[in-house]
Amino acid sequence: MRHLFVYSTVKFHLSPPYKSCAISLYKLDFFISKKFLLIKYLISIVCPRSMDCGHLLNRTNLMKSQDIYVLLKIVSLEHSKGSQLYNRGLSEPAGWSSDDPDVSLPEISNAPFSLRALSAHTGIGKSEVGNSLRRSEYSGLCRSPSDGGSIKVNKKALLEFLVYGLKYVFPVRPGAMVRGIPTGFFAPSLSKNLLSVSEDAWVWPDAYGSMKGQAIEPLHSKVPKGVKIDSELYTLMALTDALRLGKPREVGVATELLREKLR
């Protein structure tokens, strides 16, 4: 029908000098359309199921780096039974200035695992937190109880993905020297496990950071803000960077530390 319309337009609205050129373009368009239909038909013969696998191409189910951030926030809340772990009196020096305006707990309800609370404490929008949890549930990394209780993280599957898949799915390379929040084994809570000091520190770029080092892009732009109000989350996120960037021995240490925290 579309080709008939094009042809009618050509026949009745173009002057003779241009009509033959337009008709040639129409024939080319029709030829390309036939080629496309032929290719689609051949694919359906060679791989019949491919025509019924549209859900595999559904980008809404593809994991995003922020999904790991949200899942580890839930793990941190489970460890603290829903209360925040951030404490201004940490025995280790913090990775940022005490003047940082982000170091303040947002006001939320008494439901720490709700979308609203997770959004407030991660800095990610409420709707995007919901989308993130749906993606994680689709991939088997978490589940929502049928009774409406709090979300449960599949810690065994999460650990497996972090150790064996994270650095390939969400790779990162150290960047320029900047001021920021130390990550990996340079984080205050993990520095005692540092195996080598020959390299420059790794930091998430942040104006209030306490250390200068090579810039590391966090799994999500809101990670620096989220870790400032949750020391356990800070440790977990730093360990993920140790897995993404560390040498074999460091990766081994980070794996064991994460295994302890994801029991």
* pLDDT for 195: 66
* pLDDT for 178: 96
The pLDDT tens digits for 226-263 are: 999 899 999 999 999 999 999 899 999 999 999 999 98
Q: Strands of 166-226 (E only): list them.
A: 177-182, 202-205, 211-215
Average pLDDT over residues 96-124: 79
Domain ranges across the chain: 2-56, 60-261
The pLDDT tens digits for 177-200 are: 999 999 999 998 888 877 665 578
The pLDDT tens digits for 41-62 are: 444 444 544 444 444 445 678 8
* pLDDT for 111: 80
Per-residue pLDDT at 12 exceeds 50: no
Q: Which residue is it, tokens 């025509």?
A: 51
Cα torsion 18, 23, 24, 26 to 10°: value is 130
Does this model's pTM top 0.85? Answer: no
The pLDDT tens digits for 60-102 are: 788 999 999 999 999 999 887 655 544 433 434 577 776 777 6
The pLDDT tens digits for 148-170 are: 678 899 999 999 999 999 999 99
